[in-house]
Each structure stands twice: as structure tokens, then as C-alpha cells.
């Protein structure tokens, strides 16, 4: 079966750095994506890792280790607007589908 594990909740203060981990067990693994979702909104694409290593996009970075079936999303210089749910999603079968994790609810406090 397919499984993705990520923490259900994380709390951090404004300006801090937070790391959200994701471990996965899946067939047809192609890469790992991260999405942000505000309450009532649609998932918004943040980053994609197809190869091992770190990808950086502004304040957000994402990392993948295929051998460890592990990745993380790193958010720096946290802002209040970063309060949202963050989902890791395995890209499977050459991009034909995404399998989402359960999501991590990030609360940023002043």
C-alpha cells in the first residue's frame, strides 16, 4: 500500500525556521512535491524534488533523499501568513498522479 507520514501539527513563532518532515512508502515513486493550503482554499504548489538534494525557492526549501524515502520542507523567516496546512505529495507513475500525505497544520504565533 501507499503511505506518507508527516506531523499533524507544528507551532512556531514569527521569524523562526521550521522543518516539516515527510516519510513515504509507495510504488511508482517519481518525485516529491509540497503544497500549501489555507483554510477553505486550494492546494498551492510550493516545490518539487525529482532528484536527491535541496531545492531552494525564496524562503522555502525542500529536500529529498530517495534512499531514505524521506523529504522535508524548510520554511525560513516565518510570517503570520505562513499559517496553513502543508502537504507532502508523492508524484507517482511519471507524473500521472499525486498521492498526498495527511498534512501538517502550521501555526505561526507573534
Contacts with another protein by CB under 8 A lie at 30-31, 33, 35, 41-45, 48, 50, 87, 89, 91, 93-103
User: Least distance in Å: CB of 91 to another protein?
Assistant: 5
Q: How far is the CB of 93 from another protein (least distance, A)?
A: 6
Q: How far is the CB of 85 from another protein (least distance, A)?
A: 9
Rg (CA), the chain: 13
CB-nearer residue toward another protein: 69 or 104: 104
Q: Which is nearer to another protein, 7 or 102 (CB)?
A: 102
Between 49 and 78, name the residue whose CB sits nearer to another protein: 49
Amino acid at each position: 500500500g501507499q503511505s506518507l507520514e508527516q506531523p499533524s501539527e507544528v507551532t512556531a513563532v514569527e521569524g523562526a525556521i521550521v522543518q516539516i518532515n515527510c516519510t513515504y512508502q509507495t510504488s511508482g515513486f517519481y518525485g516529491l512535491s509540497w503544497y500549501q493550503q489555507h483554510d477553505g482554499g486550494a492546494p498551492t504548489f510550493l516545490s518539487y524534488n525529482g532528484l536527491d538534494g535541496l531545492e531552494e525557492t525564496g524562503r522555502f526549501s525542500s529536500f529529498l533523499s530517495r534512499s531514505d524515502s524521506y523529504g522535508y520542507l524548510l520554511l525560513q523567516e516565518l510570517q503570520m501568513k505562513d499559517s496553513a496546512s502543508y502537504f507532502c505529495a508523492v508524484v507517482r507513475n511519471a507524473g500521472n498522479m499525486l498521492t498526498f500525505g495527511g498534512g501538517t497544520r502550521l501555526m505561526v504565533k507573534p
